[in-house]
Structure 1
Amino acid sequence: MSTEAGSQAPGGGAPWAGGVTLDSSGRPLDQIRLAGIAAIGHHGVFEHERREGQRFVADVVVHLDTRRAAAGDDLAHTLHYGILAEQVAAVLAGEPADLVETVAERIAATVLAFPQAVAVDVSVHKPQAPITVPFDDVVVTIHRDRTKLPAAEPYRPPAEASAPTPAQAPPTSTAAFPLVAPSAAAAPPPAPAAAPQPSWHEVLQTGSQPTADGSAHAPEPQDALDVPPAHPVDVVIALGANQGSAQETLRAAVTDLARVPGLEVVDVSPLARTAAVGGPEQPDYLNAVVLARTTLAPRALLHATQAIEQAHGRERSERWGPRTLDIDLIVVGSALAVTDDLELPHPRAHARAFVLQPWAQVDPDAVLPGLGGGPVAALAATAPDRDGIRWLALDWLTAPVPAPQPEPQPDAEQGRDAGPSTTGTSAAAHGQHPSQHPSQHTAGDWRA
């Protein structure tokens, strides 16, 4: 493997790069090149390729500005190519794909998860491809940037390998800013078992987190997600519940969000009743989307929403299982991040009709950024779970709606992690119809 950082003049050639990338001033960006990263992968359309594996090689050119890092001799302001090389090799040796093109997209997404990376050229070599004529190599080369995002998800380490042990839980790390866990010698002494925990109001008011001794403290900044925006930014928050008095819980959650310092609720979508997708058999969900503006850092907003979930009895005992309240951050300004505790934009929002449909009702011109993004209304119309939406209630913040109950679905899968499309059946029975303009719904008293 070789690495190189340097500027390339316009028109200059690179051995295997897609050419020069310019910054916002029209000047060529610097480059970090990783050539010849190799691993045994099991990619291919033939059974023997999946079974036996073969050698794959990746060349990567990352386009970025290295001046700030060089001026301060600070790794935090450039790309850690050692970590990137390990992640590229993990993609090559990881989840099998039929196409080399898919592997290249995964590598590009992994590179662009580093916020310093502006663009990337990826070449994936398959020198042992099952071709019946003499050949030297098969190479797929792609160029991706922030305007032409990869059609794949970035690499994530297996959960069992990345999960911290209870005794030495390291701080949250990101792809861009790897952090080192504190040593055992520096660990604070164990706290008394009966120490009181801070109330959720304290968490909301201060942005603090519970510590081992039961007190609350404002966490030290760890990465860009801990930095508040210079100006208020738009936020999209998804709400869902299917346990207890779900409608009352969602109403209370909207009120709680409006009380969070630094968060201004702008509008609330109609309420969607949706079939559960992706988990055990369970009652239908009630789902809504909140549009807001915030001056909070993304992670501080995450902590506030988690505190609201906990205040309403949220338990995380089963993935995609029933829950009293689920709050997801879908979009926070222009934040693009993949970290241990938060991904923005939400990585599965583009396929969740129970998010997209209410969102499109309250903001018909909305656009979901990031991988798989696009016009929200168009995504809602093609989402895999679109047929699971039972109805939309427009005045749900002030009027009662029927409690969600399971309905027979002979041709539909039961589960949770995606939402559905709109049918007017039950909506008409309750004097509400999905085709009504979103401005007809009543906002309730959360603005007071």
Structure 2
Amino acid sequence: MSASDRISLRGLRTRGYHGVLPEERIAGQDFVIDLDLTLDLAPAAASDDVRDTVHYGELAQEVAGIVAGDPVDLIETLADRIASAVLRADRVLAVAVTVHKPQAPIPVAFDDVSVSLTRQRRSPVVIALGSNLGDRAGTLASAVAALRGEEGLEITAESPVLETVALTLAGEDPDKPAYLNQVVLGTSDLTPERLLGVLLDIERAHGRERNERWGDRTLDLDLIAYGTERIVTPSLELPHPRAAERDFVLRPWLAADPDAVLPGHGRVDELLARLTAEDAR
């Protein structure tokens, strides 16, 4: 997902009745709206289907309806209303709104007066951590601190740290060093791809080497869920394709959030109960 993809709409002119003065509410005046939407345009570019992007014609009509609708005193309030409406579109990650009031009742000559604001969507995120080499507890604590210090990411909850048997391609291996596992919850306005890049950077900073698939590691950071996003790319799949089968993800996640839900799979407590029952057979 590219954070630089944009849809821009300029000069949307609509009559509205906003303003502090009584005559503004009676006679009305023209307002001009500029929008810049941040979103991922790769799906639409690949499919050539308008359903994979934002229909800017429908968006223009919606924004025009807000401008022509219930009056407010300040164009700051109007701009915020427009931004909130635009962010209700699932694909929009951020929006910059400028409301121009070129006919404002100002008693001196002027060309324009405008208010601009930017609003970003924050999505809930679930990140799983694991370590089975070196100072495992210290590594997890350091990784969580790094996540807490990352701009665009807010950590809201941490699970307890649990010890689990190492999982390899051949299954559980009690002869391997045991893992310490943890799950952190948060919100982010980073794109999923950018957040994944942050996790990989933190792994590398803690000595992670990818020499063997499912091999021992100083630190493993997995992006388990990003809101309800469903993404399949060569570098990222969301929700995590194996999270529903992993006790070492579900158990700490449930400890951090008793009402947790894995998108597309259901409640985490039910998934864990099912997994426990299968293991008991």
Q: How high is the TM-score relative to the length of structure 1?
A: 0.36
Q: Which residues in structure 2 correspond to 1:237-276 (within 5 Å)?
A: 237-276=127-166
CA distance 1:228–1:309, shift in 2 (3 Å): farther
**Counterpart mapping for 1:178-217 below 5 A:** none
1:85-140 CA-partner distances (Å, limit 9, x unpaired): xxxxxxxxxxxxxxxxxxxxxxxxxxxxxx849xxxxxxxxxxxxxxxxxxxxxxx
Deviation of residue 277 (structure 1)?
A: 2.0
Matched, 1:348 2:242: yes
SS at match of 1:356: helix
Separation (CA, whole Å) in 1 of partners of 2:277 and 2:203: 25
**1:235 alignment partner, one of 113, 116, 125:** 125
Task: Give me the whole-angstrom Cα distance separating, in 1, the residues matched to 2:43 and 2:122.
Answer: 29
**Distance 1:383-1:75 versus aligned 2 partners, 3 A rule:** closer
Write the deviation string for residues 343-386 of structure 1: whole angstroms up to 9, x where unpaired: 0110110111100011111111111002xx11101111222698
CA change 1:376–1:315 in 2 (3 A) is same
1:376 to 264, 268, 273: 268
Q: Which runs of no fewer than 5 residues in structure 2 stay unpaired? A: 1-41, 54-90, 95-119
2:168 corresponds to which of 265, 270, 278: 278
Residues 314-340 of structure 1: CA deviation (Å, up to 9, x unaligned): 011101110000000001122111001
Summarize deviations over 1:159-192 as a string: whole Å, max 9, x none: xxxxxxxxxxxxxxxxxxxxxxxxxxxxxxxxxx
Amino acid at match of 1:252: S
**Pick aligned residue for 1:319 from 195, 200, 213:** 213
Partner AA of 1:339 in structure 2 = T
Residue 220 of structure 2 is aligned to residue 330 of structure 1:
no
Assess, with a 3 A threshold, how the Cα gap between structure 1 residues 244 and 78 changes in structure 2: closer, same or farther: closer
Letter aligned with residue 255 of structure 1: A
> Which has a greater percent of helix?
2
Query: RMSD in angstroms over aligned alpha carbons?
Result: 2.9
Q: Structure 1 384/348 Cα, relative in aligned 2: closer, same or farther at 3 Å? A: farther
The aligned counterpart of 1:76 is 44
Report if the CA contact (8 A) 1:351-1:385 is conserved.
no
| Partner residue in 2 for 1:306 | 200
Whether the 8 Å CA contact 1:272–1:287 is kept in 2: the answer is yes
Please tell me whether residue 297 in structure 1 is matched to residue 191 in structure 2.
Answer: yes
**Is the contact made by 1:351 and 1:384 (CA closer than 8 Å) also made in structure 2?**
no
DSSP 3-state at the match of 2:166: coil
The answer to whether the 8 Å contact 2:260/2:267 transfers is yes
1:387 Cα deviation (Å)? 5.9
What is the alpha-carbon distance in structure 2 between the residues aligned to residue 328 and residue 385 of structure 1?
A: 25
Counterpart code for 2:267:
P
Q: For each residue in 1:48-105, what CA deviation from the matched residue of structure 2 results, as whole angstroms up to 9, or x when unmatched?
A: xxxxxxxxxxxxxxxxxxxxxxxxxx99357369xxxxxxxxxxxxxxxxxxxxxxxx
The structure with the largest strand share of the pair is: 2
Q: Which residue type is aligned with residue 341 of structure 1?
A: S
Q: Deviations over 1:201-229 (max 9, x none)?
A: xxxxxxxxxxxxxxxxxxxxxxxxx9745
Asked if the contact 1:266/1:292 (under 8 Å) is kept, the reply is yes
Change (3 A) 1:77 1:250: same
CA distance in 1, matches of 2:234, 2:43: 20
Which residue identity does 1:283 align to in structure 2?
A: P
Distance 1:314 1:228, change over 3 A: farther
